[in-house]
Each structure stands twice: as C-alpha cells, then as structure tokens.
Structure 1
C-alpha cells in the first residue's frame, strides 16, 4: 500500500475527518427510548446525551423494557440524571447556547407499557410513552423524528400499531415517513416486527438478539467493546476504560458523579446518537457516508444464527472500513467504522464534561472547519481539483492543524491506488482527478484539529464527482 493512502487511513483512525456541517437552525428532532437501569451503560449514555442536548430538539425521553429488563421501567432514573444536569446547566451555557431547561426535560420524560416485546403491542396496550410518540411525530414540523432505541422497541411498535389501526393507508405512510430509527441490536422481538410490517420505515441497526451472540458482531460494539462484546483489536482501549473515565468524567461535578463504573462495556447505546452530533462529519440521512456513530449500508441482511427471523427488506446495516489501528496494523471490519473516530469523540466528551465545571477561559472549545469552495465538486479525469480550508478558525485562539483524507468506502470510486493528495496536511492543497470509465464519487474529509486540551476536531466533507474525459 502506497504512503499517501497509508497516512490517510492512519489519520482517519485517530478520528480526523471531514463533512458538511448542518446549519444550527436545522437541529434534529430526537426522542430516546431507553431500558435504563438494566445495566450501567444506559446511564452512562444518558450522561453524555445530556451534555450534547443543545445540538438537538430533544422531544422525548421514554423509559422502556428490554430482554434484560422485561417487566420494569425506570423513568425515575432518567429524572435523577436530568436533575443532576440541572445543577450544571448554567455552567454549560457559559460555553454554548441552547441547552434545554431542566423542567422541560422532566416534562418530556415518559413511561412505556411495562411488559416485554410484543406482549406490549396491541389493543389495550397504549401507554404514556406510545401516545407521546404519536403526538411528537404528528407535530406540524417537516423535520423527521430520530428515535434511538437503547433497549426494546415495543413502545414505538405500539405507536405504529395504533396509527395503522386508526388511520388511512395514506396517513400511515405519512406518519412512517417522518421516523428515523436506530436500534442497538434487537433487545426484544418488536424490532423484526417493525421491519417486516413497516417496510418503508428508515431503519438503522445490526439485527439479532443477544443470547445467540448478536452483540459480538454488531457495529455498535465498536464504541468500546474491545475486550467484551466486540472482542476486536486495533483501537486504543485506554480512552474508553475506567481509569480514563475516572479522570475525565466521574470527577467532574454533579453530572459526572452520576456516571457509573463500567460493568461490561462503556456506553453501548451511545452510537445511536453519535451520528446526530453536529460536527460536520455526520450526515444522518446518509448512514452509508460514515460518521462518529459508524457506517451503515442499505441492503437486505443475509440470515444469521442470531436473527429472530429472516430479514425481508433492505435496512441500513453493517458495513466495512479498512483502518490502521493503534497497533500499526490494518483492520477491516464493521466495528472499525466506529472506533476509527474514538479519539475524536472521547476528547469531545471530555471537553464537554469540563464545561460542566469550568469557566469559559479554562476549557477548550471546538474549532470551526470551513471550506473556501462548495462541498460538492465536479471534475473530469486529469483535471486539477483544488481544496481549501480558508476561513477555518478556533474560538480559543489555538493553533490549528489540517488533514485532507481520502475516505474510499463511502464513494463509488473504489480503486485501491492512492488518490495522491499533494500535501494532505496543508491548509490548501490539490489532487488530480483519476481516470474513470463512468461518473464516480470520491469522498475527501477535511479534519481541522486544535492544539487545545483536549484536542478537538471538526470537519467538512467534500464529495467530488469525477467524469470521464
């Protein structure tokens, strides 16, 4: 493998990358379903989620059941964490605007029907949570509702069932079209039921149930499952291990004090919303592009031993990236699509935990990654393609570094030869459009990283369409 591609993949592993930033005015609408209290990782994920709550319009926090907690829900735990967040909200507002009020978050904390799976779906199974989902989706708002599912999906299944039973096919189609769903595997039997009965629903996930080993193969285990669920090599485990979390999270004020000791793996549910963070890399409507939450391609999964039943239609599911790991070896896996960004998203979380206790001048804040040109570029084979990060800046006045990285997997151009970016660490650079036989897309990631502590990265994504001569 030639040097420029070797360097590019290495940089991506460190979390350096680029993508089109979503305008602040276009916040995503987010509604969480969580089987919180089944084990510590839901609580961990909720702590992180709250530190990013200004990135979204948070519209629901619903306590649910799962295979691990079949007849109990714990809305009181969500409220406990919200109250801890309330103690640090004023400090968070010193660093960024838009953190929701504590009273509002408490008001949108709801309960689902306390039964497992499809036992909670059907006539007489409406709950505060399922009714709330319907109300949220029905709002006069053209933006879709993103529903990360951390446990069982039966609360959403009940909402879908009721709408199907009480509305016309046209109105059902409209309702379903507004939902974007990401599940942490199948933690009850309603995920497969939803996929089969609502084939047009936008669905992201790694299908399968835990007892047969699904968690070991799921993309989401790339968050921190090196030694437990995922059992993979290549990533830097130290920055997701308990000593790092003690230093950077747990000793940080009232909210950090709520972050529990890891039992199995750190924050197994966090990948469901990492891809919704407004960092410039993530493009949630295109899971195949890749981002902090991993990369997922649209296809019908081949039936595996840990599936509840054969899949009947395409969903966004496990994809592969080739990444140079911390061990200096190359790794190709679905988990690598997520852990390649680990340094960036862990540093980002550490900075936000600093925000909960420190004044503005004592904390680091993310840089602004900018392009002098459009995110979409057209070129013919042999033409010079100019790339410029002019306009990038850092709010703290820190020195910035630049990375222009060829990210081959999301694009249609799939040659293994290096792209040949002239100086991939320069603020301004270029490459020559390669030879193609038909129009092909190439993804170039600009990563702008500051030299603050912790070092923070923001991105821009350039998609170059190359045409034959």
Structure 2
C-alpha cells in the first residue's frame, strides 16, 4: 500500500496557511511528560502540517515510543475524524517518524548524521513559502548536527526549544549552536514553559491533579493511555512550543501567545574556569559553564572521554581537547550552590574538587566569554512580576492556562464513550 506523503518532505509546499512543524523529542527518555505532549499534539494535528517526528532521547527512548502513541491514536482515529476531517492518518505519521541521536554530543557539539538530522535537513530544504518550525522537546543534538551538515537551512527554519533541564543534558550541542550559528531564529525557553506546570492560579477543576479525572478519564484509547504517564497528572512541559503556534502571532515572540512572551537577547551567558572554581564564582542560571584542566599529553583522538565529573550527584563525561588540555561543560538548571569532583585513571585529573554559585536571572551579568547572538534569538522575560514560584517569565504562559486547558477539554469530549 502506498503511504501518502502530503505531510512529508518530498514535495513542494505552496499556499498552505497551516504552520509547518517538525518535532524533536526525547520521548521515552528521562521524563514521561513527552508522551502527554504527543497525545495533545495528535489531537490538534489538523491545525498543522506535521513534517517530522524525530526521536532524540536521553535514556532509553526510541522511535518506537512515537509509534506506540500513534498506534493508540489509530484506535481513536475514526471517531476524531468525524470532528476534524483533515487529521493526518496514522500511516502518514508513521512514515515521517525518524530515529535521531541516542547519545549526547561530544565536547565539540556535533557527531555524526542520523536519520533524524538528515530528515531535518530534507524538510528545511523543501520548496515552501513558509518557514519550518522545529519544535525541540529535548536535546539539541539532531538540530546541531543538521546545522553542521547543512548550515544554509538556517534561512528556512524557526526554532522553539524547551531548554532549562534539557540545556543541562544537551549543553555541548547548545554551545555549538550558540557559537557557530548565532544568527539562527531561536526561542530559548528555559523557564517560561513552567507556566503550564505550575497551576496555582487555575480553577480547581483544571489543576494538574484534577484535569485527568474531570476531562480525560473514560475517553478513548488515548485517554486510557494518558494515565500511564505520571498517573495522568498533567505536566506536558513541552506543549508550550506547540501552543505558541496556536494562539497569537508566532512571528513576534515579544507579543502575547499561549506559548509565552519573550524578549530579544544579544548574548548567551558563558563562564570559563581555567583550573577550577569556588563558591565565590557566580554564574547565571542556565549559563554555559566550562572547566578547563591541564594534564598529560595523550595519544588519543580529541573529544575522547577520559575523565568524569560529578556535579550535584550526577555524572558527566570529561573530554581530552588535545595539547595537554581537558574540558567539560555544564549548565545549572536552577539557582544553587553546586559542587563538583572529578574521577579518572589519569592522576592529574582524579579527585579535583570545586564549586560554583548560580544566580537568577538569566542571562545575568555580561562577561567577555559570553556567546554573542544575532538579531533573532529570544528568551525568558526579565520583569519581576512575570516570575512564578521563582520561574522567570512563567506568568506569560500561566495567564493563558485556563483558556488553553478548556479548549483541549472540548476535544476530549469527542472521545467520550458514554456521553449523556
């Protein structure tokens, strides 16, 4: 059977008013909320031209995690189609699902092309009168690889990235993009997205521990499956990237939208410590931290992992940079007084200890080592009255949470199995 390619990247795309989107997700990896966001996406899939679903996991996630949710969607497809006749078929969605990187990028920020990164390039080069929106729900590895392999695609894409903790896991890829592709059109949402997760101002019926019972339970295969992720408690920390395209003017990140409001930034904070750091060394939350150490000359390729560093009870790889130099990058996801300690079979790299202090707001005080950015890089708003529980810019989303959640609730009614 031939699979229709109306949402793929093989044909010209002219005259459509639906946003073109490609999702890069760590679904099935370290955080189950991507499953929730994917279920939400499929219920709104008629609003978009979905051109790619790329698995870019941290942990055990793979392409099959996308396909498993698409299978649940297929069970509800005919019922959903009665209300939204232009929903893409399950077969179409399966045909554009690709496996991306399964490991974090090395120190240099890119590695080898994947089916996912190649698909990003292919979709970005498609003949279209619209930009391709690359919505990144996890790490930036496949996007960084695509930009390395085909830097010319920058003129054809716009990126909305859910950063924050994902920046910590993907710091090598992020720093490569910031350094070598600062002219990328990028929304870097490090904290704003948490306006979905923090529901302190929501009506009781819409709170994250009540919404499933009130609006999802008993509604189709998707509803039954939704409970498997966080016991149905709403998180969906990646959904703001999609909601950004559903309400407001997406070409103006400084305006109002369900996916937040942002400000233009002209630099990305970066601190480089030669030989170590202490608690008196302050960095901005979400900044790039680099530690450089000196050790013996090694006869190994550059970017080889030769030591580990434990930061806040998590282990990170450290790399040989050549010419007796060693390095590691990190990004703190919150304000904290953090510590580190290295371990290695190389005596000079073993047992090095230090600390740092990260402070809000991002991007913090300017430093000569910062990455200068171009004219179209946006991030979390700075105004104090837009912080929510310490999360910068989160109120630009939380103010729209009720409207967004009620809109979604109406779609769940389409799948009600025993309507009154």
Distance 2:160 2:207 in 1: 22
**Which of 103, 120, 124 is matched with 1:115 structurally?**
103
Judged with a 3 Å threshold, the aligned counterparts in structure 2 of structure 1 residues 193 and 312 are, in CA distance, closer, same or farther, namely same
- Is the 8 Å Cα contact of residues 386 and 393 (structure 2) preserved in structure 1? no
- Is the 8 Å Cα contact of residues 235 and 340 (structure 1) preserved in structure 2? no
Answering whether residue 229 of structure 2 is matched by residue 252 of structure 1, we say no
* Structure 2 counterparts to residues 11-22 of structure 1, below 5 A: none
Q: CA RMSD in A?
A: 3.0
Once the two structures are superposed, residues 318-370 of structure 1 have per-residue CA deviations (whole angstroms, 9 ceiling, x without a partner) of 12679899xxx9x99611100001111101111111123479xx79xxxxxxx
- Higher RCO (CA 8 Å, separation ≥ 6 residues): 1
Aligned to 1:92: 80
- Is the 8 Å Cα contact of residues 182 and 373 (structure 2) preserved in structure 1? yes
Answering whether residue 412 of structure 2 is matched by residue 353 of structure 1, we say yes
Structure 2, gaps ≥5 residues long = 1-14, 270-283, 290-369
**Which of 133, 136, 149 is matched with 1:149 structurally?**
136
- Is the 8 Å Cα contact of residues 320 and 337 (structure 1) preserved in structure 2? no
Distance 2:68 2:391 in 1: 40
TM-score normalised by length of structure 2: 0.65
Aligned to 2:380: 318
Judged with a 3 Å threshold, the aligned counterparts in structure 2 of structure 1 residues 75 and 333 are, in CA distance, closer, same or farther, namely closer
* Structure 2 counterparts to residues 285-304 of structure 1, below 5 A: 285-300=251-266, 303=269, 304=284
- Is the 8 Å Cα contact of residues 113 and 120 (structure 1) preserved in structure 2? no
Aligned to 1:32: 23
**Which of 329, 338, 352 is matched with 2:397 structurally?**
338
Once the two structures are superposed, residues 359-416 of structure 1 have per-residue CA deviations (whole angstroms, 9 ceiling, x without a partner) of 9xx79xxxxxxxxxxxxxxxxxxxxxxxxxxxxxxxxxxxxxxxxxxxxxxxxxxxxx
Quote the offset at 1:235 in angstroms: 4.5
SS in 1 for 2:61: coil
- Is the 8 Å Cα contact of residues 158 and 184 (structure 2) preserved in structure 1? yes
* Structure 2 counterparts to residues 4-403 of structure 1, below 5 A: 25-37=16-28, 38-66=30-58, 69=59, 72-118=60-106, 122=110, 125-164=112-151, 172=152, 175-185=153-163, 186=167, 187-189=169-171, 190-207=173-190, 218-225=191-198, 234-236=201-203, 239-259=206-226, 260-262=228-230, 266-277=235-246, 281-300=247-266, 303=269, 304-309=284-289, 310-313=370-373, 315-319=377-381, 334-357=393-416
Once the two structures are superposed, residues 82-118 of structure 1 have per-residue CA deviations (whole angstroms, 9 ceiling, x without a partner) of 1111111221121123100110000111101221134
- Is the 8 Å Cα contact of residues 45 and 269 (structure 1) preserved in structure 2? yes
Quote the offset at 1:206 in angstroms: 3.1
- Is the 8 Å Cα contact of residues 265 and 378 (structure 2) preserved in structure 1? yes
- Is the 8 Å Cα contact of residues 120 and 155 (structure 1) preserved in structure 2? no
Distance 1:47 1:177 in 2: 30
- Is the 8 Å Cα contact of residues 224 and 237 (structure 1) preserved in structure 2? no
Once the two structures are superposed, residues 102-149 of structure 1 have per-residue CA deviations (whole angstroms, 9 ceiling, x without a partner) of 1000011110122113479656x1111111111111111121111111
Judged with a 3 Å threshold, the aligned counterparts in structure 2 of structure 1 residues 121 and 358 are, in CA distance, closer, same or farther, namely same
- Is the 8 Å Cα contact of residues 31 and 58 (structure 1) preserved in structure 2? yes
Distance 2:26 2:108 in 1: 14
SS in 2 for 1:266: coil
Quote the offset at 1:238 in angstroms: 5.2
- Is the 8 Å Cα contact of residues 26 and 137 (structure 2) preserved in structure 1? yes
Distance 2:18 2:142 in 1: 24
Distance 1:87 1:148 in 2: 26
